[in-house]
Structure 1
Amino acid sequence: MDHDNELGEMIPHTITRYRNHSLKEEQTHVAAEVPLTFEVNDREIATLMCTPSHLKAFACGFLFTSGFIKAADDILGMDLDRKKWRMEIRVRDLMDPDLLGKRVYTSGCGKGVMYTSMMELSGRHPIESSVRIPGEDIIRTMGWLQKCSTLHNTTGGVHSAAVSVNGALPGFHIDDIGRHNAVDKIIGTLLMEGTDCSNIVLATTGRISSEILHKARRLDIPILASRGAPTHQSVLLAEEMGITIAGFVRRTNFAVFTHARRILAR
């Protein structure tokens, strides 16, 4: 994994605390946020607000989930200009953005973008995965994810994402101010490491909306889990795509909205 975070994921800041009818200055930290521009084969593709870490994984994941590349090795090189927050990327064959369809700006923090034709293509064929995960493993994974992020625990300003393989605790997590950015960074990492995604659970602290679902579908991820809720559109799409959605994951229970056959009671 790349931890491209020279700026730092959080910035010190002095605040004034109101408590018990008094005011007092104290030190805290806020989550860092930068506008990162992706320039691919000398063509500007998008500028996204993000946390300045795992930026190579972010570029790979974004280009893949947006349909610009088909695999990590389609990327020939990446250079980051930290003064301008510009990532210059070279790929084998750049898909013309005009051919990918209309841009759809995604919901939530960190404002992302997807392309309508890629959204349509991602759902054409249902996932055929025989993986089955004990419900307790979903709960353990989400509990781990909620405790592992120093950035979230310190600033409260980011979302976290991780992957569990065959129900095991995740080996890493990634934070970002945007929940879809965190997912792109996870997907980029999986692509660059050549991970088999047929038996993984993608866990996220943010709600599961349709754009998150489309991103997971691009990599044939069979199970999505979140402490938050899915949207009605993501539930409808997950039924068609063959993806299992587990929402409202708590210490003792969660709700399976689609394809419950993949969740084992014991």
Structure 2
Amino acid sequence: MNEPWDGAEERGIVEQAVRRHRDGEIEATVDEVGQEWPVALVFNGISHAVMMCTPRELEAFAVGFAISEGIVKRRADIRDIDVAFHRDGATLPYAHVELTIAQEAFGALKERRRALAGRTGCGVCGIESIDLLDLSPERVPATGFMARLAPDAIARAARELPAHQALTRLTGGLHAAAWCDADGAISIAFEDVGRHNALDKLIGRLVLDRVDTTNGFVFLSSRASYELVRKAARVGIPMVATISAPSSLAIAIARQAGIRLVSFCRETSYVEYGGA
């Protein structure tokens, strides 16, 4: 029987009985594992995407997805959000997030609807043709942020990020997206099994809190993929910093958008790939 509930007890992790093998010895113990659920995003009653993500901060996730995917242009285009959790004895738990959006935005969505499912990996799974691939990012406005960026901002962000990764410390398997000021201080961070989801949660919270997205930078625990940079461009973020490597298309999108892209970020070093 399908049973709805408020999801308040969901912590983003579950305990799993395991057998740990070490130095020839076997130990029965308990391990913490990151939660991964199907989350359906429904716009004006029509299911648009099913994402696999960690079932926390789903309102922020839905707002960030809607804006970073270009479904809506601004927070005011989202009129209502309802999050519902479900469990069924025969299936995995899942969640529905229903958004009511402005009619103009919904009309545009119907015109370009794509069959999407589980976009935690390549970012373009399910598009119907190459013609639907959006490789023309918005140009990030020049606000003077880069001139205010402290010389050690990236080092500080790299140093502070682990303190904001509580779920990763327990599981070792989640991605993080953090918002940093010009000094590299992290004010907020989100974790998720999907790197795109973590960034969407961050973007959604910034939008909901009316934070100026042109006056800070994103620090990501993952590699820099094309879609992560594309999402940043939609909301005018001037710099994307990542712990791991960028792809060639991520570099190209950053240069088109005027985003400063830096990767292999550590406390003592980073590599700059162009942009602002």
Cα distance, 1:148 vs. partner?
2.2
Aligned partner of 1:100 in structure 2 is: 112
Residue number among 207, 212, 217 corresponding to 2:223 in the alignment = 207
Cα distance, 1:120 vs. partner?
3.9
Residue number among 139, 145, 149 corresponding to 1:131 in the alignment = 145
- Structure 1 residues 84-93 or 197-206, which shifts more? 84-93
How many residues end up aligned between the 2 structures?
A: 256
DSSP 3-state at the match of 1:81: strand
Could you tell me whether the CA contact under 8 Å between 2:59 and 2:81 is conserved in 1? yes
Cα distance in 2 for partners of 1:175, 1:150 equals: 9
CA RMSD of aligned residues (A): 2.4
DSSP 3-state at the match of 2:70: coil
Cα distance in 2 for partners of 1:72, 1:139 equals: 32
Q: Confirm or deny that 1:119 pairs with 2:147.
A: no
Corresponding letter in the other structure for 2:248:
H
Could you tell me whether the CA contact under 8 Å between 1:67 and 1:95 is conserved in 2? no
Cα distance, 1:167 vs. partner?
2.0
Aligned partner of 1:149 in structure 2 is: 165
DSSP 3-state at the match of 1:35: strand
Aligned partner of 1:187 in structure 2 is: 203
Q: Deviations over 1:45-91 (max 9, x none)?
A: 10000001110000001011112111112212112220151112111
Q: Runs of 4+ in structure 1 displaced over 4 angstroms?
A: 101-118
The 1:53–1:90 alpha-carbon spacing in structure 2 relative to 1, beyond 3 Å, is: same
- Structure 1 residues 133-142 or 203-212, which shifts more? 133-142
TM-score (normalizing by structure 1): 0.88
- Structure 1 residues 20-29 or 177-186, which shifts more? 20-29
- Structure 1 residues 129-138 or 108-117, which shifts more? 108-117
Q: Confirm or deny that 1:77 pairs with 2:80.
A: yes
Cα distance in 2 for partners of 1:95, 1:122 equals: 22
Could you tell me whether the CA contact under 8 Å between 2:155 and 2:184 is conserved in 1? no
Cα distance in 1 for partners of 2:59, 2:264 equals: 31
Could you tell me whether the CA contact under 8 Å between 2:124 and 2:133 is conserved in 1? no
Aligned partner of 1:219 in structure 2 is: 235
TM-score (normalizing by structure 2): 0.85
Corresponding letter in the other structure for 2:102:
R
DSSP 3-state at the match of 1:135: coil
- Structure 1 residues 105-114 or 234-243, which shifts more? 105-114
Corresponding letter in the other structure for 1:27:
V
Cα distance, 1:238 vs. partner?
1.1
DSSP 3-state at the match of 2:163: helix
Cα distance in 2 for partners of 1:118, 1:127 equals: 23
The 1:134–1:49 alpha-carbon spacing in structure 2 relative to 1, beyond 3 Å, is: same
Corresponding letter in the other structure for 1:68:
I
Corresponding letter in the other structure for 2:271:
A
Cα distance in 2 for partners of 1:182, 1:197 equals: 16
Cα distance, 1:179 vs. partner?
0.4
Could you tell me whether the CA contact under 8 Å between 1:141 and 1:168 is conserved in 2? yes
The 1:159–1:48 alpha-carbon spacing in structure 2 relative to 1, beyond 3 Å, is: same
